[in-house]
Amino acid sequence: MRDWVGRTQTVEDFVAPWPARALIATLDAPDPEPRMGDALPPLWHWLYFLEAAPASKIGPDGHGERGEFLPPIALPRRMWAGSRFTFHGEPLKIGDTARRVSQIKSVEPKTGSTGSMVFVTVGHTLSGAGGTALLEEHDIVYREAARPGEAAREPKPAPTDATVSKTVVPDPVLLFRFSSLTFNGHRIHYDQPYVTGTEGYPGLIVHGPLLGLLQIELARRSNPDRTPATFEFRALSPLFAGVPFTVAARHEADGSVTTWIANAKGGLAQQGKATFRV
């Protein structure tokens, strides 16, 4: 699989207003109607450059078959493990014709308490009319099939000293709309029989990138006069539809913002950090 390291893929897209308008509605955000020339907020580039595998080339999990750009890893369960972002110069803007150049950075097999895993890191360079807008590294983890009676480990406690926080109840409509906006066919987010019967989870799983988006949204909206410089997040424990969770952020003395997601029992589901330009 390491032969895949270095493979590249280039995609161009038009940064249209409609996806941004739809995400504003999905997040119930207090934003005005997006107009041509408006800057795209951090991570909203996920609404563009979408993979569109033909129906005949979709794998059993709802993703496109592996073996073209991503390596043909046989492990059946796939999760978004985390991401890191560096924001450069001018952000992408509504109306830009933008380009994303992707490269397989690493393919690393590991063994954990749940068996064999493979971590794949993909780097993305996104550019618009103003040149390079952001660099992204995306970690994907592939895992073995669920074992009968397998129980998830309880996550460690989340911090309790948030500066600002927000409670979210992730109903199936939210998951469906986010899957639709990102053209994400992964069945763990909408197919209850599949996610419980095949992958062994207790319910529909909340998207890791949706959680990351909620984290940077809270961080930037609580710092309205500042421009993000970097952001990172790491998934630690899954969250499920219908069960409330808390998005939290703590403003640090150095100007950065530590952000996390706590599950309904106070366990740490996802952690992250944002920094801002001086």
pLDDT digits (tens, 9 = 90+) for 123-138: 999 999 999 999 999 9
Q: What percent of the chain has pLDDT over 70?
A: 99
Q: Examine the pLDDT at 161 and tell me if it is beyond 90.
A: yes
Phi, psi torsion values for 132, nearest 5 degrees: -60, 125
Q: Examine the pLDDT at 112 and tell me if it is beyond 80.
A: no
> What pLDDT score was predicted for residue 149?
65
Mean per-residue pLDDT over the chain, rounded? 95
For the ranges 110-114, 174-178, 270-274, which has the lowest average pLDDT? Answer: 110-114
Q: Examine the pLDDT at 29 and tell me if it is beyond 90.
A: yes
pLDDT band at residue 89 under the 50/70/90 scheme: confident
pLDDT in tens, 2-18: 789 999 999 999 999 99
Mean per-residue pLDDT, 259-272: 98
| Distance from the Cα of residue 196 to its chain's centroid | 22
Rounded to whole angstroms, how far apart are CA atoms 195 and 232?
27
Q: What percent of the chain has pLDDT over 90?
A: 90
> What pLDDT score was predicted for residue 2?
79
Rounded to whole angstroms, how far apart are CA atoms 236 and 263?
11
Q: Examine the pLDDT at 171 and tell me if it is beyond 70.
A: yes
For the ranges 144-153, 162-171, 194-203, which has the lowest average pLDDT? Answer: 144-153
Phi, psi torsion values for 46, nearest 5 degrees: -65, -10
Nearest to 119 by CA among 68, 63, 66, 80: 80
Structural domain count of the chain? 1
Give the domain extent around 272: 2-276
Mean per-residue pLDDT, 112-124: 90
Q: Examine the pLDDT at 150 and tell me if it is beyond 80.
A: no
Give alpha helix (H) positions in 41-121: none
CB 116 within 8 A of CB 75: yes
Rounded to whole angstroms, how far apart are CA atoms 42 and 235?
18
Q: What is the pTM of this model?
A: 0.95
Rounded to whole angstroms, how far apart are CA atoms 83 and 99?
19
> What pLDDT score was predicted for residue 170?
97
Domain containing 177 — which CATH number? 3.10.129.10
